[in-house]
Structure 1
Amino acid sequence: MTQTYHKKHFSPSNADHNHAHVTSHDSEKKPIMIGFVLLKHFSMVAFTGAVDALVTANLVQTEKLFDYATLSMEGPSVTSDLGIEIATGTSIEEQLQHASAHFDVVIVCGGYRCQLSEQNKLTDYLKSCHKQDAYLGGLWNGAIALAHAGLTNNTRIAIHPDNHPYVREHFQDTVIAKETSVLDGRILSCSGPVSALAMTLSLVEHLQDSRIARAAKEILTCDQLSESTVTPITKPADDGKYPESLKKVLELMRSNIEEPLTLEELLHYASVSRRQLERLFQNHLETSPSRYYLELRITYARRLLQQTNKPIIEVAIASGFVSSSHFSNCFKDYFGVAPSNFRKRSNQQQQ
């Protein structure tokens, strides 16, 4: 009789760390196409922050979720605020003449020195995209172009503080949000370079899946998760909100990967009962202590497989497993492939 194989899923507290590496069998779907309109002197860091979020969202899936292209007002390139010329794939002028590409999302990339007055071709293009039900956005002060097109009436937008007076003077029906990034209906906007990442991640969550957005955020905001100079093995973003007894157990687990502590030892060091600890883990991490500890060690092993050339048996021992066969079975339960195949796949992706 053929044995049915059931793959395990990581608990919510460890899912974000591993989402990018779990084998997926989802059917291939057409990527969401995003067009970035680069205005002269656009903010390079805001633009790259938005693009980085999309590229990372693709990396945390086995299928390509997003594709993007750059557009100029006219001509083959645009000068950024750093003085760097960026080649573009097409122009607004070409799009209006030939409608050669349909974008699901169009984002106008502004910047500190970008022109604020209306550009008629851009207005016409944004209106055309709006008629096609595209999502429209603006980085820094790019949302002003949407306002010129009459697309932000009774809509909340985020915009750079220097441009608040201009918006209040020219677009009384547009609401300036207190937040630095906003998604209001089909209009998205952010006020600067840092919030460009947050805005795009919110778009990823809205158009795809919150797990994908969280996994991408986990990768891109690792330096915001802890003030410590030591990178944690895995540290939930809300770790600081946990009860002291739970934080102590989590720290003990993270500090004892190669030689895992027994449940009795954890209870002793944390001065809690078994029932108390199980309740703490269930309430705050939605899993059991033993499963969390196992997933912590599996995550540690996954990183060793990706980042070192250690033999599988050494990876197993370093991750607290007594045998390579036990380690291999546990690893396959979560990632869908054996450790050796996982390493081979990771090496191919890096080439």
Structure 2
Amino acid sequence: MSQVSEKRHFSHRLRDTNSAFLPARAAGNAPVRVGFVLLPHFSMMAFTAAVDALVTANLVQSTPLFTITSYGLHSTTVRSDLAIDISANHTLEALPLEGDDALDVVVVCGGFRCELSEHAALSRKLRLAHRKEKVLAGLWNGAVALAYAGTLDGLCCAIHPDNHSFARERFSQVEVSNQAMVVDARTLTCAGPSSALEMMLMMIERLHGPDTVRAIREILSSDRLADDSETRLTLAENDPTLPGALRDLLRLMNSNIEEPLGIEELAGYVNLSRRRVERLFQTHLQTTPSRYYLELRITQARRLLLQSDDSIANIAVACGFASSTHFSHCFKDFFGVSPSQARQLRRSA
């Protein structure tokens, strides 16, 4: 029994990649309810960056972590800064702060051309949310609305640089930061799209831990720009924090999925002893070379299984398994269902 239990756990490098496909954990708390108030001419890029973090958080876990709702001030149609009309779910009047469907987080989405005058109904909603101890957030110059409501008094906030002078002149009780993002216990503010993503990732990490955020980053930052201005995929073999020899070993493994190399062969290619190779994997990846290789192959098989219509037998061969029976046993050990069941579940979803 202990051997089967061990097989169900990926090492940390590949656990995040596969987390959404692992057996569901026992039901925990209800999803966090997040509401976005879209001001006219709001920044589409900042809004989608924040929403993308939440949506991806739901995708990398087997149960939803967040629900997302949007609100327009007067109408369910809101013009963005790109002159594209966005359909919000509700108007501000319907924004719930009490009862079973009350929001947990209220995010005000501003933009470069948003009006900086106070909207009385929004201020009333934000003051009520503050009294109800909801988390309040502002994107771009969304912090201006929070400041009008008095929820930033005595606090520091981030806001787009174009609005610094206005905010400092108008709100003497609020400290305007030169940082792109400021996160307090129940208040989060940011100055633009990149910091909007980071702000939401910080909130997600507080709620659900670093593993969830690592999985989100793996998806959203897969093509981030390296220091040498070369765009590289964020694969483990490209991780500059790992020793060069280990990265070479990972490249060899990735290039030899269908016909896996033996550990002695891998060691020979990089001119290291088998013991040295095993130490590298244990020190930096907290697993053995053979274990990591198996996890790599089963991950590749899971992708092919759910992203193609190829037969299970062909996928088994393509991923270096001796037979479809052996592949099915390994797959069920990791994911709790057989390959055919996993494919059926994905299609029904």
Q: Scaled by the length of structure 1, what TM-score is found? A: 0.89
> How far did 1:86 drift?
2.5
> How far did 1:36 drift?
0.7
Corresponding residue number in structure 2 for 1:316 = 316
Q: Cα 1:314–1:136, aligned 2, differ >3 Å: closer, same or farther? A: same
Deviations 1:100-158 (A, max 9, x none): 95210000000010012222222221110011111000111101211222222343332
Deviations 1:185-236 (A, max 9, x none): 111122112322222222222222322222222222212177777867xx23
Matches within 5 A, 1:4-153: 6=5, 8-27=8-27, 29-95=29-95, 102-153=102-153
The whole-number CA distance in structure 2 between the counterparts of 1:213 and 1:239 is 17
Residues 10 and 334, structure 1, Cα contact 8 Å, conserved in 2: yes
Structure 1 counterpart SS, 2:205: helix
Q: Cα 1:283–1:152, aligned 2, differ >3 Å: closer, same or farther? A: farther
Residues 153 and 174, structure 2, Cα contact 8 Å, conserved in 1: yes
Unaligned segments of structure 1, at least 5 residues:
none
Q: Cα 1:230–1:109, aligned 2, differ >3 Å: closer, same or farther? A: closer
The whole-number CA distance in structure 2 between the counterparts of 1:149 and 1:16 is 40
Structure 2 counterpart SS, 1:223: coil
Matches within 5 A, 1:179-194: 179-194=179-194
The whole-number CA distance in structure 2 between the counterparts of 1:176 and 1:293 is 50
Structure 2 counterpart SS, 1:347: helix
Corresponding residue number in structure 2 for 1:331 = 331
Residues 223 and 232, structure 2, Cα contact 8 Å, conserved in 1: no
The whole-number CA distance in structure 2 between the counterparts of 1:3 and 1:254 is 29
Structure 2 counterpart SS, 1:159: coil
Structure 1 counterpart SS, 2:189: strand
> How far did 1:237 drift?
8.6
Matches within 5 A, 1:205-224: 205-224=205-224
The number of residue pairs the alignment matches comes to 346
- Code of the residue aligned with 2:187 in structure 1: it is I
The whole-number CA distance in structure 1 between the counterparts of 2:100 and 2:333 is 46
Unaligned segments of structure 2, at least 5 residues:
none
- Code of the residue aligned with 2:113 in structure 1: it is R
> How far did 1:23 drift?
2.0
Percent identity over the alignment is 48
Residues 96 and 102, structure 2, Cα contact 8 Å, conserved in 1: no
The whole-number CA distance in structure 2 between the counterparts of 1:274 and 1:242 is 18
Structure 2 counterpart SS, 1:83: coil
Residues 157 and 184, structure 1, Cα contact 8 Å, conserved in 2: no
Q: Cα 1:151–1:324, aligned 2, differ >3 Å: closer, same or farther? A: same
The whole-number CA distance in structure 1 between the counterparts of 2:59 and 2:174 is 36
> How far did 1:62 drift?
2.4
Deviations 1:23-56 (A, max 9, x none): 2132164221111111111112221222222122
> How far did 1:77 drift?
2.6
Residues 141 and 163, structure 2, Cα contact 8 Å, conserved in 1: yes
Corresponding residue number in structure 2 for 1:275 = 275
Q: Cα 1:209–1:225, aligned 2, differ >3 Å: closer, same or farther? A: farther
Structure 2 counterpart SS, 1:241: coil
- Code of the residue aligned with 1:150 in structure 2: it is G
Residues 95 and 101, structure 1, Cα contact 8 Å, conserved in 2: no
The whole-number CA distance in structure 1 between the counterparts of 2:105 and 2:237 is 30
The whole-number CA distance in structure 1 between the counterparts of 2:200 and 2:278 is 37
> How far did 1:97 drift?
11
- Code of the residue aligned with 1:314 in structure 2: it is N
Corresponding residue number in structure 2 for 1:298 = 298
Residues 159 and 189, structure 1, Cα contact 8 Å, conserved in 2: yes
The whole-number CA distance in structure 2 between the counterparts of 1:185 and 1:111 is 24
Q: Scaled by the length of structure 2, what TM-score is found? A: 0.90
Q: Would you say 1:260 and 2:285 are equivalent positions?
A: no
The whole-number CA distance in structure 1 between the counterparts of 2:94 and 2:347 is 41
The whole-number CA distance in structure 1 between the counterparts of 2:152 and 2:245 is 49
Cα RMSD for the two superposed structures: 2.6
> How far did 1:310 drift?
1.5
Structure 1 counterpart SS, 2:236: coil
Residues 28 and 63, structure 1, Cα contact 8 Å, conserved in 2: no
- Code of the residue aligned with 2:258 in structure 1: it is E
* Segment drifting more, 14-23 vs 268-277: 268-277
- Code of the residue aligned with 2:61 in structure 1: it is Q
Q: Cα 1:287–1:5, aligned 2, differ >3 Å: closer, same or farther? A: closer
Deviations 1:266-311 (A, max 9, x none): 1111122223222221221121111111111111111110111111
* Segment drifting more, 85-94 vs 279-288: 85-94
